[in-house]
Amino acid sequence: MKWMTFFSAILVSLLMAIQAVAATEGRADEELPLHAQRLSDRVLVTWVGDAMQTIKVVALKTAKGIVVMETNLSRAADARIRTTIEKEFGRKDFKYLINTHHHHDHVCGNQVYHEATIVGQRAIPEEMKKEITGEGLVKLIDKFKAMLPDWEGRRDRAAADSRENRYFAEGILWLRTVIAELQEGFKPAFPTLLFDKSLTLDMGDMTLELYAVGGTHSSGDTMIFVPEEGLVMVGDMWPEQVLPYLRKEAPWDLELILENWGRIVEGGREIKHVTMAHSDIKLSVEAFKEQYRYLKTLWNGLSEMRRQGAAFEEAKKRYAIWRDFPFFKEKILKVRDVNIHENNIEAIWAKLPAAKEPGPVGPERP
Ligand SMILES: [Zn+2]
């Protein structure tokens, strides 16, 4: 009996040691939950976390290989997502990874798809270098380190079981992982297949149309349309709840944005899903189309008024949300005391060329 007890004691301590190793190494019990959603047989959307927002990665199973759109801030999350894609599709032939813009929360996991060609708008690599290499990377890590104690305090102050508590609990886990990952083994992977205005990738049974719509959220913003699946990806451009906002100081070219956006909305092809990158942000097909119609109407209408020499005071009165764009009347129409609609009219007006002064009268033409 004595010996049995002795062996049992050894066994128990051995098991405890194994559990302790598992808890510190794998943190399996502390991983954020992983979600996978099929939009169709060939389209898989995968993300981690319940309460906090991360990035929804969209994967396409095509005749010429797997195409992935977006990655996360945490490459551990992307490694889990990659494994899920492989399992779901039963293949591993990653052909392309597409970045919708350069922001760090969308590109740090790029290295997980090391064999894929990374595709992006031409402005993206330089902007990525500023954010996630050299001094930019040091700043980013310092920012996350400073956020940690703040988030821990906020989690502790939030009521147990509240959404806020869950948000910060997940966020703290996320931050700790990300800080460690950015300090060790992080290799920024940049897009190498670059385009200016648009690019079409022929995947055999699927076509990917990439359109540059940069200048409002970031310089390299890209919308992706897959007509065979009626699928649109918009990155971080305008969410459902808010009227599209044209910041005056931002370098957008609305004519180019609308030309490209119009190829998706007015091309006569069905749109079934519109996906925003962040896991907690929705955008309906209707809102996506209404956003386009709103900006297009303002751009065309105000351009015409400007050409005809109208005064700005007239332009301001020409379009009202409640009358001309009632879809948006219940949406967020103000940010930090700025009336978004009035701001947009002013912003567009300022970018339009002034009406030409009547020039000297030339020789009469036959
Ligand atoms: Zn962004």
The pLDDT tens digits for 262-316 are: 999 999 999 999 999 998 889 999 999 999 999 999 999 999 999 999 999 999 9
- Rounded Cα distance between 259 and 193, Å, is 22
Residues contacting residue 81 through CB under 8 Å, at least 6 positions apart: 34, 46, 47, 48, 57, 72
For the chain, the 3-state helix, strand and coil shares in percent, each to the nearest 5, are 45, 20, 35
- Rounded Cα distance between 274 and 284, Å, is 6
How sure is the predictor about 57, in pLDDT bands with cuts at 50, 70 and 90? very high
Per DSSP bridges, beta strands 193-195 and 198-202 are unpaired
The angle subtended at Cα 159 by Cα 157 and Cα 164, nearest 5°, is: 80
Distance 175 CA to ligand 1 centre (A): 18
Distance 130 CA to ligand 1 centre (A): 14
Q: Which residues pair with 208 in a beta bridge?
A: 201
Distance 101 CA to ligand 1 centre (A): 7
Distance 128 CA to ligand 1 centre (A): 12
What does the pLDDT read at residue 16?
41
Q: pTM for the whole thing?
A: 0.87
Distance 242 CA to ligand 1 centre (A): 16
- 198: pLDDT strictly greater than 70: yes
Identify which of 299, 335, 347 has the alpha carbon closest to the alpha carbon of residue 319.
Answer: 299
Lowest mean pLDDT among 59-68, 115-124, 208-217, 354-363: 354-363
- 26: pLDDT strictly greater than 50: no
Distance 103 CA to ligand 1 centre (A): 5
- Rounded Cα distance between 233 and 43, Å, is 12
Distance 206 CA to ligand 1 centre (A): 27
In angstroms, the first-to-last Cα distance of the chain is 121
3-state secondary structure of 35: strand
Distance 277 CA to ligand 1 centre (A): 9
Distance 233 CA to ligand 1 centre (A): 13
Distance 220 CA to ligand 1 centre (A): 10
The pLDDT tens digits for 229-253 are: 999 999 999 999 999 999 999 999 9
What does the pLDDT read at residue 327?
97
Distance 278 CA to ligand 1 centre (A): 9
Distance 202 CA to ligand 1 centre (A): 27
Record: fold of 30-130+189-292: Metallo-beta-lactamase; Chain A (3.60.15)
What does the pLDDT read at residue 14?
40
What does the pLDDT read at residue 30?
66
What does the pLDDT read at residue 103?
97
| Dihedral angle computed from the Cα positions of residues 223, 281, 43 and 72, in that order, rounded to the nearest 10 degrees | 80
Distance 168 CA to ligand 1 centre (A): 21
Q: Which DSSP string do the residues of 300-320 spell out, in sequence order?
A: HHHHHHHHTT--HHHHHHH--
Looking at per-residue pLDDT, the higher value among 225 and 29 belongs to: 225
Per DSSP bridges, beta strands 222-226 and 207-212 are antiparallel
Name the percent of the chain lying above pLDDT 70: 89
Identify which of 65, 73, 141, 137 has the alpha carbon closest to the alpha carbon of residue 105.
Answer: 73
The pLDDT tens digits for 142-195 are: 999 999 999 999 999 999 999 999 999 999 999 999 999 999 999 999 999 999
Confirm if 155 and 169 have CB atoms less than 8 A apart. yes
Distance 100 CA to ligand 1 centre (A): 9
Confirm if 75 and 103 have CB atoms less than 8 A apart. no
What does the pLDDT read at residue 11?
40
Distance 345 CA to ligand 1 centre (A): 24
Mean of pLDDT values over 114-119? 98
Identify which of 225, 205, 227 has the alpha carbon closest to the alpha carbon of residue 63.
Answer: 205
The angle subtended at Cα 311 by Cα 359 and Cα 256, nearest 5°, is: 80
Q: Where are the beta strands (DSSP E) in the chain?
A: 34-40, 43-48, 57-62, 65-69, 94-98, 117-121, 193-195, 198-202, 207-212, 222-226, 231-233, 273-275, 334-335, 338-339
Distance 152 CA to ligand 1 centre (A): 25
Distance 235 CA to ligand 1 centre (A): 7
What does the pLDDT read at residue 275?
96
What does the pLDDT read at residue 5?
42
- 341: pLDDT strictly greater than 90: yes
Distance 338 CA to ligand 1 centre (A): 21
Distance 72 CA to ligand 1 centre (A): 11
Cβ burial of 141 (10 Å; 0-12, 13-18, 19+) is middle
Distance 298 CA to ligand 1 centre (A): 25
Distance 217 CA to ligand 1 centre (A): 7
What does the pLDDT read at residue 196?
98
Average confidence score pLDDT of the chain: 90
What does the pLDDT read at residue 17?
41
Distance 42 CA to ligand 1 centre (A): 26
Confirm if 280 and 54 have CB atoms less than 8 A apart. no
Distance 358 CA to ligand 1 centre (A): 45
Residues contacting residue 299 through CB under 8 Å, at least 6 positions apart: 254, 255, 258, 348
